[in-house]
Each structure stands twice: as structure tokens, then as C-alpha cells.
């Protein structure tokens, strides 16, 4: 077991829902007449993806990719390994990477490099959470939900050692 406890609610299910609806509307407007391919990064993005895709009023397609970053329970090392690759070909597609949280941005940087080598028509990122002041420069994140403080967070798909992904609200971890 990982040391620590579920702390207070940082973002309630209602706050999350309002923002996810806005992000869906923005994507719907920006991609009008197109059929974007949403790529969820497992496992953390699974709840966000489920809510986001239902707020996009376009013929979207969904795929998932699982990556594992080497490191401890609460730190990323930046070394990423693809554990489950995509089923859908990215060539000429309008791709949106759907991420739970961008901390250092190392995972995202790796994914962006890997996926842009597959010749999509466009490649953008939609991240629910950005950890304030932590990302490497030049990370170009087109859609983002919330900026959050440095504390580790759990719930709404995010885990600590695979626990607490099913909490409906986003909590701090202390
Ligand atoms: P990065 O490579 O440092 O940007 O780390 C991003 C990945 O680390 C996310 O996709 C999460 O899986 C994980 N992560 C970072 N911060 C948290 C957190 O506060 N709670 C749960 N997972 C996190
Ligand atoms: Mg994780």
C-alpha cells in the first residue's frame, strides 16, 4: 500500500462536468465538418474520455493507448513504454490526444513525437488538468480544463497505486 490518504475535494463532480461540457462544445465548433479521432491515454484518462466524447456533437472515433512511465507511485521518470498501441491508423486523421493530467509533460512529449510520425492531418492535445508551473516549455496544449496546485490528486480516473480511480470527484492526496 502507498502511504497517504484521500484528502478534500479539489474539484467537485459538478465543476468537472461544467468544464468538460465547455471543452466538448469548443471541440465541436473547432472541428465542424470533420470526424476527429480521440486517443485516450490509459488508464487515467478513461473517465474524462467517457464524459468528453459524449459532449462532442460530431462523428468522433475513439481509440486508446496505454503507456507506462517508469518511476515511483507519485513521480514520472520521463521514460515511457507503449503497453497497448492503437488499433486505428492515424494517417490523414484529425487526432486529439486526451490526457488526464500533464505534470512535467514528459509523457505527452513522447506521445506527440511518436504519434506525429504516423502522419496525422492534425494533432492536438486535450488535457483535463495542468499542474501549474510544472510543464516543460513549448508544450502546445490546445485544450485544457483546469490548472491545479502541486499536490498529487486522485479520483475521476486518476490513481495512486491503482487505487481511487472510481472517486466521482477529484481529491487531493496527502
Ligand atoms: P508527466 O509525464 O510528468 O506529465 O506525467 C503525466 C502522467 O503522470 C499522467 O498521465 C498521470 O498518469 C501521472 N500523474 C501525474 N500527476 C498525477 C497525479 O497527481 N495523480 C495521478 N496521476 C498523476
Ligand atoms: Mg497514473
Residue 136 is predicted with a pLDDT of 74
CATH assignment at residue 73: 3.40.50.2020
In a domain, 95, yes or no: yes
In a domain, 170, yes or no: no
CA distance 122 to 17: 27
In a domain, 171, yes or no: no
pTM of the predicted structure, to 2 decimals: 0.94
In a domain, 167, yes or no: no
The 10s digit of each residue's pLDDT in 141-167 is 999 999 999 999 999 999 999 999 999
Compute the half-sphere exposure of residue 96: CA atoms within 13 Å on the CB side of its CA: 28
Residue whose CB lies within 8 A of the most ligand 1 atoms, among 46, 77, 101, 106, for a mutation test? 101
Mean pLDDT of the chain: 93
For the chain, what is the domain count? 1
Residue whose CB lies within 8 A of the most ligand 1 atoms, among 39, 100, 159, for a mutation test? 100
Residue 69 is predicted with a pLDDT of 73
> Is the model's pLDDT at 23 over the cut of 70?
yes
Residue 146 in contact with residue 11, Cβ under 8 Å?
A: yes
In a domain, 25, yes or no: yes
**Residue of minimum CA distance from atom 14 in ligand 1:** 101
In 3D, which of 16, 17, 31 has the Cα closest to residue 96?
Answer: 31
Residue 70 is predicted with a pLDDT of 66
CA distance 16 to 108: 22
33: left (phi over 0), alpha (psi -120 to 50) or beta: left
> Is the model's pLDDT at 78 over the cut of 90?
no
The 10s digit of each residue's pLDDT in 100-138 is 999 989 889 889 999 999 999 999 999 999 998 877 777
In a domain, 4, yes or no: no
Task: Supply the range of the domain harboring residue 78.
Answer: 15-160
Least confident of 31-35, 52-56, 80-84: 80-84
Which atom of ligand 1 sits closest to the CA of residue 135?
A: 4
Q: Is the CB of 51 under 6 A from ligand 1?
A: no
In a domain, 172, yes or no: no
In a domain, 29, yes or no: yes
Q: Is the CB of 76 under 6 A from ligand 1?
A: yes
Which atom of ligand 1 sits closest to the CA of residue 109?
A: 2
> Is the model's pLDDT at 27 over the cut of 90?
yes
Amino acid at each position: 500500500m502507498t502511504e497517504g490518504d484521500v484528502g478534500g475535494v479539489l474539484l467537485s463532480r459538478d465543476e468537472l462536468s461544467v468544464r468538460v461540457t465547455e471543452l466538448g462544445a469548443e471541440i465541436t465548433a473547432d472541428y465542424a465538418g470533420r470526424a476527429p479521432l480521440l486517443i485516450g491515454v490509459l488508464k487515467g484518462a478513461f473517465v474524462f474520455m467517457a464524459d468528453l466524447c459524449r459532449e462532442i456533437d460530431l462523428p468522433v472515433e475513439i481509440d486508446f493507448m496505454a503507456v507506462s512511465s517508469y518511476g515511483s507511485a507519485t513521480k514520472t521518470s520521463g521514460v515511457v513504454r507503449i503497453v497497448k498501441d492503437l488499433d486505428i491508423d492515424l494517417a490523414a486523421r484529425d487526432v486529439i490526444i486526451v490526457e488526464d493530467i500533464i505534470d512535467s509533460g514528459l509523457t505527452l512529449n513522447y506521445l506527440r513525437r511518436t504519434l506525429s510520425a504516423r502522419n496525422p492531418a492534425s494533432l492536438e492535445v486535450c488535457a483535463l488538468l495542468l499542474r501549474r508551473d510544472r510543464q516543460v516549455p513549448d508544450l502546445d496544449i490546445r485544450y485544457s480544463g483546469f490548472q491545479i496546485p502541486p499536490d498529487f490528486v486522485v479520483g475521476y480516473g486518476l490513481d495512486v497505486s491503482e487505487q481511487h480511480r472510481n472517486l466521482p470527484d477529484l481529491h487531493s492526496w496527502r
